[in-house]
Amino acid sequence: MSRFPILVDKEIRALFLSPIAWILIAVFLFLMGYSFTLTLFSTSAATLVHIFFQAAGLLLLLVPIITMRSFAEERKAGTLELLLTAPVREGELVLAKFVASLVVVVVMIAATGAYAGVLGWFGTPDWGAIYGGYLGLVLLAATLVAIGVMFSAMTSNQVIGAILAIGVSFLMWTLDSLAQLLPTGLERVFISLSLLARFTPFATGAMYASDFAFFITVTALALFVAVRALARR
């Protein structure tokens, strides 16, 4: 029998039993609600584009706070030794922590669906763009969670793990700005690695297979590094 569902269940319980997840969800929803109300009354436009970009910006900061405890806490408390000497694969454990953290972030994002409901009730929004934006947010969240889990697997200090994850996430988000200063060949490479450049089409209602592939590839790569980091002990 696979241990994966058992591990996911334990991780989700641990996350929702901790006040951190609830505080982060509350802060996220308060800031998003404030921004949504302000923009709606000032522009009267039935769109969530600005909300998607603001949500993405907040996720860069909040996701590492959710993921920082995943391995670092277990390593520090010694419970990682207990888990890794049980008949559990490192890959199962990494995937379980990834899925559990992603569930928290998806709950956070899904709660903003109320704004789409408000737009649909009072106006005629472009639903395709809204679905695309939410899909983009979930893909971005998956990538950020994977990066956070990766850094958490590399250290026993939660704060260091979070700071490294925030740093790398922000760097990847803004790589397209840096690209403007580079020669043409390198410019393309940097733009293609930019989270912002990959997220923008989703947020504005366009979807490209290459952007899907990018988010999935970076997520898989970060999870692979996390598994290797766990194996090196």
Partner 1 sequence: MDSFDLVLSRNEVVGLLGPNGSGKSTILRMIAGYLQPTTGLVRVAGFDVVRQGLEARSRIGYVPEDVPLYTAMRTREFLSFMGRVRGLPRTDLGPALDAVVERLSLQRVQSTLIGKLSRGFRQRVAIAQALLGRPALLLLDEPTNGLDPRQIIELRETIRLLAGEVAILVSSHVLAEIERVADRAAILLDGRLLDVFPLDGVPPGGLEETFLRLTADEAPGPSAGGRA
Where do contacts with partner 1 occur on this chain (CB under 8 A)?
1, 3, 6-7, 10, 14, 17, 77-79, 81-89, 233
**How far is residue 174's CA from residue 150's CA, in Å, rounded to a whole number?**
20
Cα gap 122→54, rounded to integer Å: 22
Q: How far is the CB of 11 from partner 1 (least distance, A)?
A: 11
Structure tokens at 194: 């930019």
Long-range contacts, stretch 123-130, CB < 8 angstroms, 24+ apart: 123/46, 124/46, 125/46, 125/47, 125/48, 126/46, 126/47, 126/205, 128/205, 129/47, 129/48, 129/49, 129/204, 129/205, 130/48
Residue closer to partner 1, measured from CB, 45 or 82? 82
Q: How far is the CB of 77 from partner 1 (least distance, A)?
A: 6
Shortest Å, Cβ 14 to partner 1 = 7
Minimum gap (Å) between residue 233 Cβ and partner 1: 7
Nearer to partner 1, 29 or 88 (CB): 88
* 49/88 with CB nearer partner 1: 88
CA-based R_g, the chain, Å: 19
Between 78 and 183, name the residue whose CB sits nearer to partner 1: 78
Cβ 98 vs Cβ 19: under 8 Å: no
CA distance 68 to 66: 6
Give the nearer residue to partner 1 in terms of CB position, either 4 or 170.
4
Residues 6+ apart with CB under 8 A from 158: 68, 69, 72, 73, 76, 152
* 183 Ramachandran zone, left/alpha/beta (phi>0; psi -120 to 50): beta
Least distance to partner 1 from the beta carbon of 188, Å? 42
CB of 162 to partner 1, least distance (A): 20
